[in-house]
């Protein structure tokens, strides 16, 4: 930096970038976490939407739906004493 007064020649940039990337611990996990946190991979629309200014997620509606779904799944779950039928053959047309 002293020789170039704070400027980096284009020819040196790739070499310096490569050495910087190699020196960074957990680079791949940090990149994946960044994409996940932004909602890019896996795609999560709400992660993207909540970063927009003025966006407010309708939490009341979501929580009501979530509560209903949880209760529904609890009623559909087999009880501890019930066992799922196994070994039954069914005839299905391909």
- The residue-averaged pLDDT of 49-66 equals 70
Domain ranges of the chain: 13-71
- The residue-averaged pLDDT of 34-47 equals 83
Task: Say what the pLDDT of residue 78 is.
Answer: 60
Distance of alpha carbon 60 from alpha carbon 75, whole angstroms = 23
DSSP at 78: P
Task: Say what the pLDDT of residue 53 is.
Answer: 80
pLDDT band at 18 (very low <50, low <70, confident <90, very high): confident
Q: What is the CA radius of gyration of the chain?
A: 27
Nearest to 48 by CA among 58, 60, 35: 35
Task: Say what the pLDDT of residue 3 is.
Answer: 65
The overall pTM is greater than 0.95 = no
- The residue-averaged pLDDT of 20-42 equals 85
Of residues 28 and 56, more confidently modeled: 28
Nearest to 46 by CA among 61, 57, 35, 60: 57
């Amino acid at each position: 930096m002293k020789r170039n007064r704070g400027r980096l020649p284009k020819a040196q940039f790739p070499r310096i970038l490569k050495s910087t990337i190699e020196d960074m611990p957990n680079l791949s996990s940090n990149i994946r976490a960044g994409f996940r946190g932004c909602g890019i991979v896996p795609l999560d629309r709400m992660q993207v939407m909540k970063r927009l200014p003025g966006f407010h997620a309708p939490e009341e509606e979501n929580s009501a739906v979530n509560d209903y779904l949880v209760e529904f799944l609890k009623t559909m779950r087999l009880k501890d004493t019930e066992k799922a039928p196994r070994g039954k053959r069914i005839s299905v047309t391909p």
